[in-house]
């Protein structure tokens, strides 16, 4: 009998804890019924452990009562609408009444602006300033592009191109071993002509998907790595920019 009474205390404690932890409806607990049980069981307790369980059960019930009080206060404000009541109200309205209620409460987040003289003036000033920037930029000089004759002169085109590409790919595989390495360190071999050749071949390998490349958007650092399988659908057109004093 006494053991069963202790289990009843533990059941009350567990029930109240679950309501509090899960945020469930506190009115699911019949507070009056549980308090009546505690009142009847109190004369049975003799040991400290039993009295401690009884006190904890009473404390948990008071926590549930507090949550019930908070819920009643919230529901008594204008901020709360009972879901079932709202569903009943919506179903009882006609489509026209619902549309009217929507239009009365609608607050659009965007607006339509007409083009006027002021906006035209601002647009003209904007595009006119862009043209000035473009003229100032191109007046300083134009980046020269290498012709086919120049590429042949540097021994980039012509001969066994496939062999040279394979040789560079093998070199990248040995140095990269699947890890990212710096682009500029890899192509920096010999003089200017050799750097141009290596950059051209590497650009070709990247465009074909045999080599992976990434660019840090902040530091603009370029890194490359060897890939064991060709990157299908990842081919890119890579411009070659070679600088240095010996590039004149």
Domains of the chain as residue ranges with CATH: 2-75 (no CATH), 148-247 (1.10.10.580)
At residue 144, the pLDDT reads 53
At residue 208, the pLDDT reads 78
At residue 233, the pLDDT reads 57
- pLDDT category, 61, cuts 50, 70, 90? very high
At residue 112, the pLDDT reads 59
At residue 181, the pLDDT reads 92
Q: Name, of 102-106, 218-222, 227-231, the range with top average pLDDT.
A: 102-106
How much of the chain is helix, strand and coil, in % rounded to 5? 65, 5, 30
Other Cβ atoms less than 10 A from the Cβ of 180: the count is 13
Other Cβ atoms less than 10 A from the Cβ of 142: the count is 8
Beta bridge partners of 225: 212
pLDDT above 50: residue 180: yes
Token pair for residue 177?
């071993």
At residue 65, the pLDDT reads 93
Beta bridge partners of 224: 181, 213
Q: Answer with the residue of higher pLDDT: 64 or 210.
A: 64
pLDDT above 60: residue 39: yes
- pLDDT category, 234, cuts 50, 70, 90? low
Q: Answer with the residue of higher pLDDT: 137 or 23.
A: 23
Q: Answer with the residue of higher pLDDT: 160 or 15.
A: 15
Reduce the DSSP state of residue 141 to 3 states and report it: coil
Reduce the DSSP state of residue 211 to 3 states and report it: strand
Query: In this structure, what DSSP letter does residue 86 have?
Result: H
pLDDT above 90 covers a percentage of the chain that reads: 8
CA distances 162 to 39, 192, 212, Å, are: 94, 22, 19
Lowest mean pLDDT among 1-5, 72-76, 150-154: 150-154
In this structure, the dihedral spanned by the alpha carbons of residues 181, 183, 184 and 185, taken in order and rounded to 10 degrees, is 30
Averaged confidence pLDDT in the chain: 77
Give the containing element (helix H, strand E) for 18: helix 2-22
pLDDT above 50: residue 107: yes
Give the containing element (helix H, strand E) for 11: helix 2-22
CB 198 within 8 A of CB 168: yes
Is the overall model pTM greater than 0.85, yes or no?
Answer: no
**How does pLDDT run across 145-173, given as a tens digit for each residue?**
545 455 555 555 555 677 888 888 899 99
Lowest mean pLDDT among 46-60, 84-98, 144-158, 185-199: 144-158
Q: Answer with the residue of higher pLDDT: 242 or 72.
A: 72
Distance between CA 242 and CA 222 in Å, rounded? 13
Distance between CA 186 and CA 197 in Å, rounded? 12
Q: Answer with the residue of higher pLDDT: 141 or 228.
A: 228
Q: Which residue stretches of 47-191 are H helix? A: 48-75, 83-92, 95-105, 117-139, 148-153, 161-176, 183-187
């Amino acid at each position: 009998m006494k053991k069963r009474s202790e289990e009843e205390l533990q059941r009350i404690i567990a029930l109240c804890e679950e309501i509090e932890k899960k945020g469930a409806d506190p009115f699911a607990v019949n507070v009056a019924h549980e308090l009546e049980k505690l009142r009847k069981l109190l004369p049975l307790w003799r040991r400290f452990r039993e009295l401690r369980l009884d006190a904890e059960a009473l404390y948990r019930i008071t926590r549930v009562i507090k949550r019930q009080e908070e819920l009643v206060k919230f529901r008594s404000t204008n901020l709360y609408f009972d879901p079932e009541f709202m569903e009943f109200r919506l179903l009882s309205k006609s489509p026209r009444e619902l549309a009217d209620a929507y239009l009365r409460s609608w607050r659009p987040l965007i607006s339509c602006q007409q083009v006027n003289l002021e906006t035209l003036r601002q647009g003209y000033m904007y595009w006119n300033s862009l043209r000035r920037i473009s003229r100032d930029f191109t007046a300083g000089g134009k980046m020269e592009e290498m012709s086919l004759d120049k590429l042949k002169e540097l021994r980039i085109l012509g001969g066994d191109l496939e062999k040279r590409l394979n040789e560079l790919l093998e070199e990248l595989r040995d140095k990269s071993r699947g890890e990212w390495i710096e682009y500029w360190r890899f192509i920096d071999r010999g003089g200017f002509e050799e750097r141009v050749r290596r950059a051209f071949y590497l650009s070709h390998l990247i465009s074909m998907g045999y080599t992976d490349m990434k660019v840090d958007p902040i530091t603009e650092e370029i890194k490359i790595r060897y890939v064991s399988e060709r990157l299908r659908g990842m081919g890119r057109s890579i411009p070659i920019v070679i600088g240095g004093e010996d590039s004149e």
